[in-house]
Amino acid sequence: MSSSCVDIEDEYQDDCDFSDAILRYIDQMLMEEDMEEKTYMLQESLDLQAQEKSFYDVIGKKYPPSPQPESALFSQFGEIPDAYSYVNPHSLSHSDSIGNGNLSDVVNPRWINSTLYRDASFVGCIPTDHTLNSSASKSNSLHNVADIFLESPISPLQMHEMHRGSQSEEANKFLPGENKFLISVDVNGFLARNSIEESVKGVIEAGKKDEVEECSPSQSKGKKNGHNFDSDFEERNSKLPAIYAESDVPMEEFDNVLLISSGEHGEKFAAYRADLQYAASKSMQCSGRPKGSGGVKRRGKKQTRKKQVIDLRTLLISCAQAVAADDHRNANELIKQIRQHSSPFGDGSQRLAHYFADGLEARLAGTGSQIHNALVNRRTTAADYLKAYYTYLASSPFRKITNFASNKTIITKSQKAMRVHVIDFGILYGFQWPTFIQRIAARKGGPPKVRITGIDFPQPGFRPAEKIQETGCRLAHYAEKFNVPFEYNAIAQKWETIRMEDLKIDKDEFVVVTCLYRGRNLLDESVVAESARTAVLNLIRKINPSLFIHGVLNGAYSTPFFVTRFREVLFHFSALFDMLETNIPREKQERLLIEKDIFGKEALNVIACEGWERVERPETYKQWQVRDLRAGFMQVPFEREIMKGAIYKVRTCYHKDFVIDEDGHWLLMGWKGRIIYAISCWKPI
């Protein structure tokens, strides 16, 4: 290996999102006591938006609501802030936690039965520049309060009153039977029945206990104040009922976090990736199926000489055409044939056909939105999601290359800046930023002050910003470890309603805006005349950042014409399922979660939902390029060293069928010739 290749490899390892530091960052998330109970945050927030229009129609209000007027209910509690800030002056207080779980259990085949990650937790941060202990966005209205009871005419507050004392018997008269209170849909084992009793119990107990914990630079444990929900109702202007489980155990300290990866976790990650590739290859050989056959299915030992070749792709397209024509008889017959030759445990094509059949069946029955909502509300724990995320990163280079290119670009462009402000549209768990903080801490002359504004859609319930606040607290703890001056600002509201003053931009800051693969969830012109995508891009242009890094999911299945959209989404997910088939063993539980809870759910939304309820609306990177240019940006190329490092890593460490290429100034990534992701860098004109 040449010395230049070694240098590139070293550079990549330093910026890789799975250095020692980022692995410990994810370890911390897995160690949280209530992580097993928390759902993946994105799945709830997107469903919240999809439900808004129908809910406002029911209560007789115009949608979309104005961001200025607040709910009459919330106005009784006083002013509610738009954003939540956290400042880290290197004085966080922590204590050792009890658990012994760590990310290495993912590599261990016995991790599935592990009971780790339940003995320690993280205390959510409370904003330092606001007096409220609970929070909601101004754009958040009554639908956030009653989100989990949208199917019922009874709000959680009314329900709590009816369950008090002598009123409980009278309340039971108005409550429908358990089997009618919440609609549960089960499509071929896709969904589990939801229990309404747990939801009601959670709301009632939350109203009684109303416990709120605080995490600030001066303390790690907050006070627990029990409060009767109905007493002094009008005087309670500083607290709102909490429905999230809070933790009694503070955040576990990172014990041996190194400035630069020591290689231990990197070697383990590389070994895990190699094991996945070997096991996947062996699994395909043992199955006796030629690679890429897609539809061959043997009919027992006696029929080994006869192979029934089923073209599942043709069956799916024919079924979609029948569904579009409202031909129930033909569509049901085709779905029956697809069911006979598909399975969630078969090869990649069979799994794809199984989940697409779910979508077609839901569209035919007109239950797409109900099934999607039930899928979103299903309790997939964040811990399980993180384990699947780790496996996904080991099997594909998409996210790792994205983080490498964006972090390296920001650090290179901001070399002389003493204040760096990153505005992240769609921050989620913030996996990208621990490595960024680690790298910028080693900058010559000392690190700059880093401000991160984390933006995401509001979560259902009383605390729409709770989870992105927790992300900020973790990042603050991480910045403290590397002595990086840090400030975090959380904004939980619709992106198109964000105002300049919410972002708190200072004049002397090097401002960077990132939006990585989440623009597809914004509504386009086919739904609303004033596109949310245009509004967000105009906001970013108004910010006038020094750098705008834009990552897009390259897809052409946002068209309103169903059959055309179905063909495109079929081709798109065929590449993704084939990628998993080639790189992850079939029996791997993490693969099942990725296919069912992520890819399967997204495909169902595209196939079975329309209008406001269809939240998956990707466009091609060339379409986004037109939007960016129209908004007043000009494209700038990535540094050649960054491009060389990304290409080298993909071609030397991952399967040969992964694609990495350039088109203009876009960095393209895909599988077997199909471009799936694209990332580019822009600056205002």
The residues pairing with 674 across neighbouring beta strands, listed in sequence order, are: 671
Banded model confidence at residue 530, pLDDT cuts 50, 70, 90: confident
The residues pairing with 297 across neighbouring beta strands, listed in sequence order, are: 308
Residue 467 · residue 385 · CB < 8 Å: no
CA distances (Å), origin 619, targets 213, 275, 623, 624, 664: 42, 35, 6, 7, 18
What residues contact 237, with CB distance under 8 A and at least 6 apart?
76, 77, 78
Predicted confidence (pLDDT) per residue in 61-115, tens digit? 655 544 443 333 333 333 334 444 445 444 333 333 333 333 334 444 333 333 3
The residues pairing with 83 across neighbouring beta strands, listed in sequence order, are: 491
Is residue 171 exposed (0-12), middle (13-18) or buried (19+ Cβ within 10 Å)? middle
- The least confident of 42-56, 525-539, 650-664 is 42-56
Predicted confidence (pLDDT) per residue in 538-594, tens digit? 999 999 999 999 999 999 998 889 999 999 999 999 999 999 999 999 999 999 999
In the block, which residue shows the tokens 């941060």?
A: 125
In the block, which residue shows the tokens 């002094």?
A: 232
As a whole number of angstroms, the distance between CA 443 and CA 421 comes to: 16
Give me the numbers of helices (H) and strands (E) for the chain, helices first please: 26, 12
**Residue of higher predicted confidence among 613 and 485:** 485
As a whole number of angstroms, the distance between CA 45 and CA 466 comes to: 12
Residue 497 · residue 181 · CB < 8 Å: no
Nearest Cα neighbor of 496 from 538, 525, 559 is: 538
CA distances (Å), origin 148, targets 76, 156, 287, 373, 605: 22, 9, 44, 11, 20
Residue 382 · residue 410 · CB < 8 Å: no
Residue 113 confidence (pLDDT): 38
Banded model confidence at residue 382, pLDDT cuts 50, 70, 90: low
Banded model confidence at residue 131, pLDDT cuts 50, 70, 90: very low
Task: Give the angle 118-122-128 at the CA atoms, nearest 5°.
Answer: 165
- pLDDT of 4 > 70? The answer is no
DSSP string over 525-573: TTT-SS-HHHHHHHHHHHH--SEEEEEEE------S-HHHHHHHHHHHH
- Do strands 666-671 and 658-663 pair parallel, antiparallel, or not at all (unpaired)? antiparallel
- The least confident of 215-229, 273-287, 436-450 is 215-229
Predicted confidence (pLDDT) per residue in 180-200, tens digit? 333 344 444 444 433 334 444
CA distances (Å), origin 237, targets 158, 313, 370: 19, 58, 36
For 539, the 3-state DSSP assignment is: helix
